[in-house]
Amino acid sequence: MAITDYKNGLMQRLQDPVYASEYLNEALKDGSQELFMLALRDVTKAKGMAQAAKEANLNRETMYRMLSEKGNPNLSSLNKLLNTLGLTLIISEKKYHEEPAIDNVAAID
């Protein structure tokens, strides 16, 4: 019963585009295509697969295949789907953790 409660709660949270974008970004950080596709499938399920396919003007069977673990959507299909989910694909620079600069000035007592 706890797993069902978790899944229901997740589906509710994933309907929020802010939460959905954070969820997908975390999946992307792993670098695994399979993990990202599974996360995208969760977000799409939260909206409703049939509704998302209709709004994205994608064939439902094609969308199911696209969202499988081994799915390999083309960019235009991915953008159509993300658009219907209230999301967009953005590339940004990688943020590096910089160490604070160390002053080479000796303290004078």
Model pLDDT for residues 21-76, shown as the tens digit of each residue: 999 999 998 888 889 999 999 999 999 999 999 999 999 888 988 998 888 889 99
pTM for this model (two decimals): 0.78
Which helix or strand (DSSP H or E) is residue 13 part of?
A: helix 2-13
Residue 84's pLDDT is what?
A: 93
Residue 91's pLDDT is what?
A: 82
Position 95 pLDDT exceeds 80: no
Residues 6+ apart with CB under 8 A from 77: 56, 58, 62, 63, 66
